[in-house]
Structure 1
Amino acid sequence: MTTNVSVTTGTLEVPDARLYYEVRGTGPLIALVGAPMDADAFAPLADLLAADHTVLTADPRGINRSPVDDPDQDSTPDLRAADLARLIDRLDLGPATVLGSSGGAVTALALARTRPDRVHTVVAHEPPLVELLDDRERLHAGTDDIIATRLRGDVTGAWAKFLAQADIVLPDGVLETMFGADRTPREEADELRWFAHELRATTHWRPDLAALRTVATRVIVGIGEGSTGQLCDRTSRALASALGSEPVLFPGDHTGFVDDPAGFTTRLREVL
């Protein structure tokens, strides 16, 4: 893996928040976007892409090092897209390629709709676009139950329900190890904010398909090879079908860019 990559950090004041961001490398701008995943989750991928790109990563508003003025403010895809547009403007290297994963893919799609002048290519990796599915009402009800379970303080119960709805199966004991063990106060706070103020707004967001079909921004739908049958496999295929395109397979599953950054980078370079 790439080592000794220089990282420049900064903070950008935006309405109601302060965004922490990192910049690596030189060349065409690519932004790596998560929600709720922060800049740290993308660091190995960013290091590899920095060989020939300027790579922007950031903590989404309300997560880790990006505090918000109102802790009760919901984090919506359109709000996060506006933040991303301002970050791209800050670097003055746009329009950018944007790789968004999960909720970050929804952010990237929102940016393509609202500010297509800021992004020439979106790689939407497994966006949870529940609104595109026929069983969306059942899934929305399940999400409400998941959130209520977490807000009652049942952490492992909420994650068990979330993973079941996402059709993700973990080996025995992994759930308790991941979410029942000691975690930092920051990790717990970020998790709670995601459940309370981000998950519902992200999964209820409906893309403007007509706009995405006609906008100049190139939209590529990505799916993990190991995600077959999972909820985000279904939502991603629904999006690709609605856009009249074929999804692109990437190594790994929903978090393939974390588990195999080298393989993911190779595939991303092929796609771009």
Structure 2
Amino acid sequence: MAETHTLKTPDGTLYYEVRGSGPAVVLTGAPMDAGPFEALADLLATERTVITHDPRGIGRSPLDDPAQDSTPELRADDLVALLDAVGVERADLLGSSGGAVTTLAAATRHPGRFGTIVAHEPPLLELLPNAVEQRASTEEIIATYHRDGIMAAFGAFMVNAGFPLPEEGEGQAPPEQEPGEQESADAHRFFAHELRGTTRHVPDVEALREGPARVVVGLGVESAILLTDRTSRALAKALGVEPVMFPGGHGGFEDDPRGFAEVLRRVLS
């Protein structure tokens, strides 16, 4: 059973959940909130203190200034604020997607606060050979949001990320449903204030290699067609390590939480 809390920060409020007891591990996403980590967190809580949260400006973590951009560095500072609130000096860390970029910023911005850091499929577009083209694609996705709205922007985003569209003859896609108020607010945060800063982050590879935290690159076994497969492998190559393969794809922790937890336990031990 998770304990729910809020933490007032200098520029907003963070919602977070704490489960279990033992060595601490933080599970973080961006823009994903705490919800999809629930099953994984419950499994890990049998032997660990597990901290999950809604990242700044998303879900139950409102900002005082809704127009403030979300950067990996600011999100990394939030992770340390959560550790302080829980009374934890040092924790392991799993980040997914944009949250994986957060973990890399945390490793270099707050050395000594994290033990093993697992960056699962970080969208580090600046590490790719076609970074200039990817930067332009990101700008076009953001422009699509402002011009044509949420559904058009998500469609463009999914195509660029490599997610397959339905094949001809497979039937029509389900009717588009208008997003609710919170979904619309979170989508606005993502496209208007988060996507650019996350994908343009350039990790300090030397600091990651020489710092006190052990950095592990995680990759889904079903993610070969995705853009994040390329970015994850580029990061692993830069760090001089092999990626650790996890069950499922980009959201493997949600699709197969038990299998994901088994691999994560081995990595953290």
Pairwise same-fold verdict (TM > 0.5): yes
Report % sequence identity: 55
Matched, 1:216 2:197: no
Q: Which residue of 1 aligns with 2:98?
A: 103
Counterparts of 1:39 and 1:237, CA distance in 2: 26
Counterparts in 2 of 1:149 and 1:175: CA distance versus 1, 3 Å: farther
Counterparts in 2 of 1:112 and 1:73: CA distance versus 1, 3 Å: same
Residue identity matched to 2:260: F
Residue identity matched to 1:108: T
Residue 202 of structure 1: which of 181, 187, 198 is its match? 198
Residue 64 of structure 1: which of 59, 65, 78 is its match? 59
Q: Which residue of 2 aligns with 1:31?
A: 26
Residue 233 of structure 1: which of 214, 229, 232 is its match? 229
Matched, 1:132 2:127: yes
- How far the C-alpha of 1:176 sits from its partner, in A, is 5.5
Residue identity matched to 1:214: E
Counterparts in 2 of 1:174 and 1:230: CA distance versus 1, 3 Å: farther
Counterparts of 1:102 and 1:175, CA distance in 2: 29
- How far the C-alpha of 1:156 sits from its partner, in A, is 2.6
Matched, 1:169 2:164: yes
- How far the C-alpha of 1:182 sits from its partner, in A, is 3.6
Residue 74 of structure 1: which of 65, 69, 80 is its match? 69
Counterparts of 1:148 and 1:176, CA distance in 2: 25
SS in structure 1 at match of 2:145: helix
Q: Does the aligned pair in 1 maintain the 2:166–2:173 contact within 8 Å? A: no
Q: Which residue of 1 aligns with 2:13?
A: 18
Matched, 1:7 2:2: yes
Q: Does the aligned pair in 2 maintain the 1:29–1:94 contact within 8 Å? A: no
Counterparts of 1:79 and 1:138, CA distance in 2: 26
SS in structure 2 at match of 1:117: coil
Q: Which residue of 1 aligns with 2:187?
A: 191
Counterparts of 1:175 and 1:61, CA distance in 2: 36
Matched, 1:83 2:78: yes
Residue identity matched to 1:195: F
Residue identity matched to 1:129: L
Q: Does the aligned pair in 2 maintain the 1:20–1:66 contact within 8 Å? A: yes
Counting matched residue pairs gives 266
Instruction: For residues 187-220 of structure 1, give each alpha carbon's deviation from its aligned partner in whole angstroms, at most 9, with x where no partner exists.
Output: 1110111011000000001000110010010000
- Where structure 1 has 5 or more consecutive residues not aligned to the other structure, the ranges are 1-5
Instruction: For residues 26-65 of structure 1, give each alpha carbon's deviation from its aligned partner in whole angstroms, at most 9, with x where no partner exists.
Output: 0100000000010111111101110100000000010000
**What is the TM-score normalised by the length of structure 2?**
0.95
Counterparts of 2:237 and 2:225, CA distance in 1: 16
**What is the TM-score normalised by the length of structure 1?**
0.94
Q: Which residue of 2 aligns with 1:246?
A: 242
